[in-house]
Structure 1
């Protein structure tokens, strides 16, 4: 297992200085799945972050990336809520639109390996969070059967891709977040809404609409409303509060 330690500021307070770590999670005889763990003290949960587009962050050995994705910009905001954040990279381009590879067995097995790795390593409630095309990755995973669903405590989708859906038999907590002015044709507001409307009445679910911020460049890009540009604090707060509320049965009474 390859491990590289790097020092990063949480952006909250000097006392919350944390040591971020790059972990390469093995995958058969192929290239490993690179991940970046941004931990916090006395964490109550961990969230695995799956970016959109082709999914490639190209994380370097020092944990840096030239990718300006929403999850990269906001990775240090989770610490204030007592949540470990994990950025999940991919060694190959997953594609965009109809030509994507997010539902194939290879990609889903990589997600399974990453989830199991952090479940065993951290012994905390595991949440999976996908943005844009990343919502296909996480929804396909939770739809993959009881063995996979048993490993995680909940799922969050944001800027949901039009083909993403969650089976009615999935009863875990689900949150959907969408920007009201998201102009990307591939990620209509209605897709996030319908995911929550289709949840069983006895399961925890929440829909969050976010307004404001700045939109620049490609309307389907991370610097547009689609990417919650300059709304990252509100974006992460909404997700973090849902995670903590619905992980409570696990960590109540923990030191």
Structure 2
């Protein structure tokens, strides 16, 4: 069995290279990931986009999705952080059709990706979930189990209202939201409630972003919900929190 498949390598900016890795999953379709790596990374962040979770990473490294994580993928290198866009081989649903991110198969895939990149780099590994992806981050953190000690922290942004964190989750947590997010399923309070409800002994931080522009549907990638044209600030807040904790 191949433990990884390196397909595409190219230089983007900040001296980073990009590679596609297929993380094996029993006898089923692997979990496809796209790694953008600076020459000397200090940490690694796993990016779980919203919607149905299907980013559409090809073997050649192209990505079908225009999600904010895709638009900002090359910005992490400025901070010495390796960024990994994580795809899903199947639709993970949404708030209207049913959220499948709590199903065991999905969480097992997350665990496999976390352990794969931890073993590969030996760096602090963080999970960053946006919108529906915030439920991936919170579900996984709530059910760490055997992976406790492998994950260094989580970041949630444009959080869905049904997401929550157990008080037993002691990892550092950053919440990011756009002040003018107009998506009914991701109100600002969804993020602030989680951060402000955390036990005071834990590291928790809330960042509210303003500015940018909103285009298309209020729950889409180019709306305020998707941090359209505030990507540098979006990544900066997350990167600084990672490096400081």
Q: Normalization by structure 1: what TM-score?
A: 0.93
- The Cα of 1:62 is off from its aligned counterpart by 1.7
Q: Secondary structure at the match of 1:76?
A: helix
- Residues 1:75 and 1:193: Cα distance change in structure 2 (over 3 Å): same
Rounded Cα–Cα distance in structure 1 between residues aligned with 2:174 and 2:24: 30
Selected match of 2:81 from 66, 80, 83: 83
1:44 is matched with which residue? 42
1:6 aligned onto 2:28: no
Query: Partner residue of 2:188?
Result: 189
Q: Is the 8 A contact 1:176 1:193 kept in 2?
A: yes
Please give the root-mean-square deviation of Cα atoms over the aligned residues, in Å: 0.9
Query: Deviation string for 1:122-180 (max 9, x for gaps)?
Result: 10000000000000001000000342332100000000011111101111100000000
Segments of 4+ in structure 1 off by > 6 A?
none
- 1:200-211 equivalences under 5 Å are 200-211=199-210
Q: Secondary structure at the match of 1:32?
A: strand
Q: Distance in 1 between matches of 2:202 and 2:80?
A: 24
Counterparts of 1:90 and 1:241, CA distance in 2: 28
What secondary structure does 2:93 align onto? coil
1:34 pairs with 2:32: yes
Whether contact under 8 Å (1:141, 1:148) holds in the other structure is no
1:32 shift after superposition: 0.2
Give runs of aligned pairs for residues 12-27 of structure 1, distance below 5 A: 16-27=14-25
Please give the residue correspondences for 1:111-190 in structure 2 after superposition, counting only pairs within 5 Å. 111-190=110-189
Q: Partner of 1:227 in structure 2?
A: 226
Give the match for residue 109 of structure 1.
108
Tell me how many residue pairs correspond in the alignment: 241
Matched residues in 2 for 1:77 and 1:149: separation?
29
TM-score normalised by L of structure 2: 0.96
Q: What 5-or-longer segments of structure 2 have no aligned partner?
A: none
Any conservation in 2 of the 1:142–1:148 contact (CA below 8 Å)?
no
* Contact preservation (8 Å) 1:5, 1:19: no
Query: For residues 194 and 148 of structure 2, what CA distance do their matches in structure 1 show?
Result: 17
Which secondary structure state, in structure 2, belongs to the residue aligned with residue 62 of structure 1? Answer: coil
Runs (5+) with no aligned partner, structure 1? 11-15, 247-255
CA contact (8 A) 2:154 2:172 kept: yes
